[in-house]
Amino acid sequence: MTTAFYSDERCFWHGGGNYAFTLPVGGAVQPLAGGLPENPETKRRLRNLIEVTGLIDHLSQRKAAPATWQDMARVHPETYLTAFKAMSDAGGGELGLRTPFGKGGFEIAALSAGLASAALADVLAGRARNAYALSRPPGHHCLPDWPNGFCLLNNIGIAIRAAQAAGLVRRVAVVDWDVHHGNGTEAVFWNDPDVLTISLHQDRNYPQDTGGIEARGGSAGLGANINLPLPPGTGHTGYLQVMDRVVLPALHRFAPEVIIVACGFDASAVDPLGRMLATADTFRQMTRTVMAAADSLCAGRLVLVHEGGYSEVYVPFCGHAVLEELSGSTVRAVDPMAVSLAGKQPDARFDAFLSTWITDLATAHGL
């Protein structure tokens, strides 16, 4: 059985807007050549690295059809889709917060959602053991009717609803380790007891007003949303602890048929949009953890969908480590930052503080 890898050059052609980092250009804000931190290089360089090392030859490279209008409409209201398509056809623009797109941006966003959907469908149908979708634009901040945080369609939401509609699956768990709260995915499945959404994120980073532990889902979905806000400075040992002490027990309690990871790399120690200290090895070991959970709970069925990660230099090495682990390949990309990051691990006092914090999270969620 293989590890399938879904990508499409056209996803790297998404762009638009006149930003200097996260600030709209104008007034005293000088234009910046790189534009938004969510730019093609953060993803394209991951694809380039797996080609350079040869890891790509150990993966099953696949394309996918764009998500259909019907697929998108299971998650997003027709009014939003119609407005998005019309603005995209007319040359592009912006409908939410920091979500600019150019002409044809609608079709690229549909393709990004299509990569995630194909990855999930192929794993559920037994056409791959596990899968990685290099989706761009990302999806986890996109609410049903409001795009934000670089996200224009909720890729994972669309993929899950399509798989459920096809009769491929009912119970799904989403583990979101992007450094930002997965507020869009939380919103899509807020009332749904069949989709467990777990988000590990830096406390009150983005969005600043969501992601608290008290947000546990609504009506029948109560308890099926688990927010795990973590303090700035959480690093390798902290992430592994929260996976072992909270995420794994939550997955076992829920017993999903498949696990999906919203795989952002912006918890890395050098990310410009996070204040965490994860390394490539952290992402490797978190992958190992969810693989073990998938093996014991759902015959290994595991899908990773790319989300954020804004260090053009380091994201590729984090992604390479994840793909090495997923595929079992022995091809390695030596982490060029491992030595310098090793000295940035938290000290004993911080570890003790974090251990108490994580115990409190587990207790709050009855784990």
Interface contacts to Zn ion, rule CB under 5 A: 178, 180, 264, 266, 308
Q: Which residues of 148-187 are buried (b: 16+ CB within 10 A; e: fewer)?
A: bbbbbbbbbbbbbbbbbeeebbebbbbbbbbbbbbbbbbb
Q: In the chain, what is the straight-line distance between the N-terminal and C-terminal CA atoms, in Å? A: 34
17 vs 207 by CB, closer to Zn ion: 207
Report residue 366 as tokens: 């009855």
93 vs 309 by CB, closer to Zn ion: 309
Least CB distance to Zn ion at residue 38 (A):
9
Give yes or no: 141 in active site. yes
Report residue 259 as tokens: 């696990």
Question: Which candidate, 310, 293, 116, places its Cα nearest to that of 198?
Answer: 293
67 vs 262 by CB, closer to Zn ion: 262
Taking CB atoms, the residue at the shortest distance from Zn ion is 308
Least CB distance to Zn ion at residue 278 (A):
12
Q: Which residues pair with 166 in a beta bridge?
A: none
Question: Which candidate, 221, 297, 305, 306, places its Cα nearest to that of 258?
Answer: 297
Which of 141, 201, 236, 306 does the annotation list as catalytic? 141
Report the C-alpha gap between 287 and 259 in whole angstroms: 11
Q: Which residues pair with 26 in a beta bridge?
A: 29
Least CB distance to Zn ion at residue 133 (A):
16
151 vs 361 by CB, closer to Zn ion: 151
Report residue 277 as tokens: 């200290």
Name the residues annotated as catalytic.
Answer: 141
